[in-house]
Structure 1
Amino acid sequence: MDVVVLIGRILFVLLFLSSAVGHLTQAEAMGGYAASKGVPSARLAVLGTGVLLLLGGLSVLLGIWADLGALLLLVFLLPTAFLMHAFWKESDPQARQGEMVNFNKNVALAGACLMLFAFFAHTRDLGLTITGPLFHLG
C-alpha cells in the first residue's frame, strides 16, 4: 500500500512541478498571458504561483507536511480556474471549449487536492513520508 500511495503522489505532482518550472523560467511570457486575462501584477503573480506550485508539489512528493502541500496546490488551482479559464467570457466556440476544458481540469484537480488533504490529515500511518501531517482531522 505504501508504494502504491508513493507512486500516486509522484504521478500526481508531475504536472505541478513541471508547471512550476515553466512559471519560474518563463515568467515574462506567462506574465503577458496572465496580464491579457486581467491578472494584476501579472509577472509577480506568475512568479508567486510558481513558488506555490513548487512548494506544494515538493511537499506532496516528499511527504513533508503533505496535507499542507495539498492545500497549497488547492490555493493555486481554484483562483486559476476562475481567473485564467473563464470560459463563460469567450465568444469564439473553439476558445470557449479550450477554456472550459482547462477550467474543468483545474476544478477536478482542486477536488483531488481536497481529498488528498483529508487523506493526509486523517490517516495515522502515511507510510513513505518524511513527516506526518501538519493538521489532524478526526
Structure 2
Amino acid sequence: MVNVLVLIGRILFAALFLGSAMGHLTKADAMAQYAQFRGVPSPKLAVIGSGVLLLVGGLSVLFGVWADLGALLLVIFLLPTAFLMHPFWKETDPEAKQTEMISFNKDVALAGAALMLFAFFSAAGHCLGLTLTGPLFNL
C-alpha cells in the first residue's frame, strides 16, 4: 500500500512540473520576455534551461529513475525562481504584492517538498518499490 501511495504522490507532484516544462519549452519567447522584465540574465537561455530542469526533474520523479536526483533538480529550479521571478518585496501595488507573495510562497513550499523527496528517495529509494532505479545518492 505504501508503494502505491508514493507512486500516486509522485504522479501528482510531477504533473505540475511537466506541465510547466511544456510551457517553458513551447512558449520560450513569450516567457523570455517576462523573464527579461524581471531582470533575469540571458532570459531565453534561462527559460529553456529551466524548462529542461523541469522536464528532467519531473520525469525522473514520475518514473522513479534516480528520483532523488530529479527532486534535487526541482529544488535547483524552484528556489532561484522564487527569488528572481516573484520578488514581492519590490511591489508597491498591494494586489500585485499579494499575488507575487503567493507565488513566492508556493515556490518555496514546493522546494521544501522536493527537498524532502530528495532525502526520502536517497535514504529509502530501494525500499520504495515501483521505481525504475534506486537512488543516485545515499544519505
Q: TM-score, normalization: structure 1?
A: 0.98
Residue identity in the other structure for 1:21: M
> Which residue in 2 is equivalent to 1:36?
37
* Worse-matched range after superposition: 26-35 or 120-129: 120-129
Deviating above 2 A after TM superposition, structure 1's stretches of 4 or more consecutive aligned residues are none
Unaligned ranges ≥5, structure 2: none
Q: TM-score, normalization: structure 2?
A: 0.97
Q: Deviations over 1:37-78 (max 9, x none)?
A: 000110110000000000000000000000000000000000
Matches within 5 A, 1:1-138: 1-123=2-124, 124-137=126-139
Deviation at 1:126, TM superposition (A): 1.7
Residue identity in the other structure for 2:121: F
Give the Cα separation in 2 of the matches to 1:6 and 1:64. Answer: 12
| Matched length | 137
Identity across the alignment (%)? 72
